[in-house]
Structure 1
Amino acid sequence: MLKFFHLSLLLFGAVFGSAARAESVLFLNPGSTQEAFWVSYSQFMQAAARDLGVDLQILYSQRQPEFTLAQARVALQGPNRPDYLVFVNEQYVAPQILRMAEGSGVKLFMVNAVLTPDQQALIGERADRIGSLVPNDEEGGYLMMKELIRLHPPVVRGEQIEVLAFSGLKITPSAQLREQGMQRALAEHPQVRLRQLVYSGWTRQRAYEQARQLVNRYPKVSLVWAANDEMAFGAMHAFAEAGKVPGKDVLFSAVNTSPEALQAVVDGRLSALVGGHFTLGGWALVELHDYDQGVDLDRYGGRDRQLSLLQLIDKHQAQQMLAMGASPDYGVSFRKLSAKGHPTSYRYPFSLQILMH
């Protein structure tokens, strides 16, 4: 792991050193090269960069926040600095990155998870922080739970529907927000009872190990809510081993549009899937490119925005997205989304619908 990390830093220095005069962007990907979500996130960004003519580099931290900070230090304080640094406030690394960036001349853009209100109050406004884009994580958690409840067969009056929930990392804002959405949906349905919420660290193996115990502890569970696809599949494996048929005896939900998750929707094993936020990095590049061309983001909907990217994906959409995965540019003209030359009433039309033509 350490060897991989040093190599990634060396490559980073070499690449930006020889860059042409397109604006250079470094994305610090907090995920692992084994995670379908973060790999697809990078691929969508790369498609946007190709179309926009942006010089994009991506470094993965393999879910090690100390790697993210070391990569940021080299990028912000080393000799080959990018014009823009795009990063995620995963495990609350943002304040340290903002401190490192002071006086570096590098402009900052946050995606997926931004400063918490407490962090924002401590740090205040910064001229080098040019914007942020986050998804509707709370709504995503809510939509999944509502859909699971909607699809559950009716129960006799007074009988409860039992749920298990698998969340990510306690200190990840997206996990917290998705949980809050789930709790909001549960509050609207008193006949649905959450038996237990566990933290599976976003991983399939951990969710599988936990679910093996929980399926015996709570034999009446018929709904499983999971904050990502990996954990949903881990739990599904354990329930299947216990003789329960996913999509029939137990309904599962998940977040993310990995090919495996989309196929599980088509097959009926996943009953509720929300996704679409893998596009955030690509949309961020559209805004960065506009900013670099002198566009004032404040005049086009604000520098800091939440996008309703997490939406329920039905079987037809899942089939569409599986077919789309084979196209390297996703069929999107990123340049056409630019606000440059538009009246100030223009709003970036970022959504999953752009991909669904």
Structure 2
Amino acid sequence: MQGPAGSVANRVGGTMSFLSRLKSAVVGVVAAAFLSTAAVAADGPTVGVVVPTLDAQFWNSYVAFMKKGADELGVNLVVLNADNKPDQMVKSLEDLVAQKVDGIIFTPYWATAARGLTLAKEAEIPVILTDSYPDFSPQTERFPNYIAFIGPSDEDAGYQMAKALFAAIKPGPDGKKVIGVVNGTAGTSVAIDRRKGLEDALKEAPDVRVAGEVDGNFVRDTSQTAFESLFQGNPDITGVWAANGGTATGVMAALKNHGKKPGKDVMVVAMDLNPENVEAVKSGELLFDIGGHWLQGGFALVALFDQIKGIPVPAGADNVKLKLLPLTKDRVAQFEKDFPGGVPTYDFRQHSRFYNKDAKPAVFEMQYSN
């Protein structure tokens, strides 16, 4: 993996954050998603994107970064929201195929990978999957149009979250550290792999007891309701492993409703590096966060753009799992210095082999400068 790129175009600045400046653009793209691509197309290719839900801050960050990339590369971006519904995910993919887009990027929650890839294969549309992956590899005879997967190293992230949590909580009278677990969307590789990382850490920590587990579906409100029930039945919980940023926000709200102070009475760890979670780490309410993988959408856009332009993704670079950036309170100042507004510097054209024959890989891992 390469470190952060050197030269930078269009660095985000001013008093507004990157995500704030692109919020209206994202809304506009989503609102126009079902319009004919002829209405927006100029010279550039049209790429369709389907996200699991735009109710989650993570996916808005993902789309915002892709929108920046589309502007720099000259891509018409069509974004569709599955709204946390499996049927809508498939319907969105059908719509993109009907629009005859030049490429598709989607996140195959709810076992939709094979169905979506089949639809795209029949229409000869190249596809990159992000965040969650199926039980088969890219660039095979079955799906030659599945050109790459780009997503996080979820198992490693889940393990780091757990280790930070276990180290911070104190044992009860019985010598046990009692934790609650709020998992993500059941059946997705994302949720499965993060839970594997937690399990790896539990095997190394016989003094930790899991009081119970609930499914938060990776969204705030569901996580809050689910954890409130879990905590009510297990008030001895002093640590919570939350599967993502929205989940952690819901958990912290639930704890406050029970008169508990996150970061003092109950420690919480999370994943995503959403802006509100970064603020929670800064304030001491959130013990540990890890993320940056919403960048995967922009990375995928560069690779798919080059593929459409006749520069294929190399077979050795078709399955990418990103190691993520950890954040604790003592690193917040460095994080804010290195990533103003939470955004790394990234020049999409410099990473495109179509625009730059000597381009570095489209993918890099966020790292602290010190």
Pairwise TM-score range, normalised by the shorter structure: 0.7 to 0.9
Superposed CA RMSD in Å reads 2.8
**Paired residue for 1:303?**
318
Report the counterpart of residue 338 of structure 1 in structure 2. 352
* 3-state DSSP of counterpart to 1:21: coil
Across the two proteins, how many residue pairs are aligned to each other?
A: 338
The CA deviation at 1:162 is 0.5
1:55-112: CA deviation from partner (whole Å, max 9, x where unpaired): 2221112111211211211221x2x311101111111111111222233131111111
Partner of 1:107: 126
Give the aligned partner of residue 192 of structure 1.
208
Contact kept, 8 Å, 1:9 with 1:71, in 2: the verdict is no
Q: Are residues 1:147 and 2:168 paired? A: no
Shift of 1:295: 3.0
Partner of 2:187: 171
Give the deviation of 1:316 after TM superposition.
Answer: 5.8
In structure 2, runs of 5+ residues without a counterpart are 1-28
C-alpha contact 2:48 2:78 (8 A) present in aligned 1: yes
Cα distance in 1 for partners of 2:222, 2:96 equals 33
Q: 2:118 and 2:172 mapped to 1: Cα distance?
A: 58
Alignment partner, residue 239 of structure 2:
223
Verify the 8 A CA contact 2:40 2:76 in the aligned structure 1. no
Aligned mate of 2:197, from 181, 187, 204? 181
Contact 1:85/1:109 (CA < 8 Å) preserved in 2? Answer: yes
Does the C-alpha gap of structure 1 residues 224 and 16 become closer, same or farther in structure 2, counting only changes over 3 Å? farther
- How far apart, CA to CA, are the structure 2 residues paired with 1:204 and 1:188? 30
Whole-Å Cα distance in 1 between the matches of residues 33 and 296 of structure 2? 25
Residue 9 of structure 1, CA deviation: 9.2
Report the Cα offset of residue 43 of structure 1: 0.2
Tell me the distance in 1 between the aligned counterparts of 2:40 and 2:49: 18
Q: Which residue of 1 aligns with 2:116?
A: 97
C-alpha change, 1:8 and 1:262, in structure 2 (3 Å) is closer
The 5-angstrom pairing of residues 48-67 of structure 1 reads 48-67=69-88
Change (3 A) 1:274 1:221: same
Contact 2:220 2:248 in 1 (8 A): yes
Normalised by the size of structure 2, how large is the TM-score? 0.82
Spell out the pairing of 1:232-243 with structure 2 (5 A cutoff). 232-243=248-259
Residue in 1 that maps onto 2:222: 206
Aligned to 1:29: 51
Q: Normalising by the residue count of structure 1, what TM-score does the alignment of the two structures yield? A: 0.85
Note the alpha carbon deviations across 1:239-273, whole angstroms, 9 max, x for none.
22333221112100111222211100000000011
What is residue 257 of structure 1 aligned with on the other side? 273
Structure 1 unaligned blocks of 5 or more: 1-6
Amino acid in the other structure paired with 2:160 = L
The 8 Å contact of residues 302 and 362 in structure 2, kept in 1 or not, is answered as no
Tell me how far apart the structure 1 counterparts of residues 332 and 295 of structure 2 sit (CA, whole Å): 16
Residues of 1 paired with 2:96 and 2:105: CA distance?
Answer: 11
- How far apart are 1:151 and its partner, in Å? 2.3
Distance 1:158 1:11 in 2: 56
Quick one: distance in 2 between partners of 1:293 and 1:37?
29
Q: How many percent identity over aligned positions?
A: 27
Partner of 1:3: none
Paired residues of 2:103 and 2:308 also in contact (CA < 8 A)? no
The structure 1 residue matched to 2:42, chosen from 9, 20, 38, is: 20
- 1:47–1:316 distance in 2 versus 1, CA, 3 Å: farther
2:14 paired residue number: none
Distance across 1 between alignment mates of 2:272 and 2:106: 19
Displacement of 1:237 after TM fit? 2.2
| CA drift at 1:213 | 2.9
Amino acid at match of 1:303: D
- Aligned CA distance change for structure 1 residues 318 and 334 (closer, same or farther; 3 Å): farther
Q: Name whichever structure is richer in helix by fraction.
A: 1
What does residue 4 of structure 1 align with? none
Q: Distance in 2 between matches of 1:281 and 1:211?
A: 30
- Take 2:314 and 2:123, find their aligned partners in 1: how far apart are those partners? 23
Q: In the alignment, is the contact (CA less than 8 A) between 1:16 and 1:24 conserved in 2?
A: no
- The residue matched to 2:36 in structure 1 has which SS? helix
Aligned partner of 2:314: which letter?
D
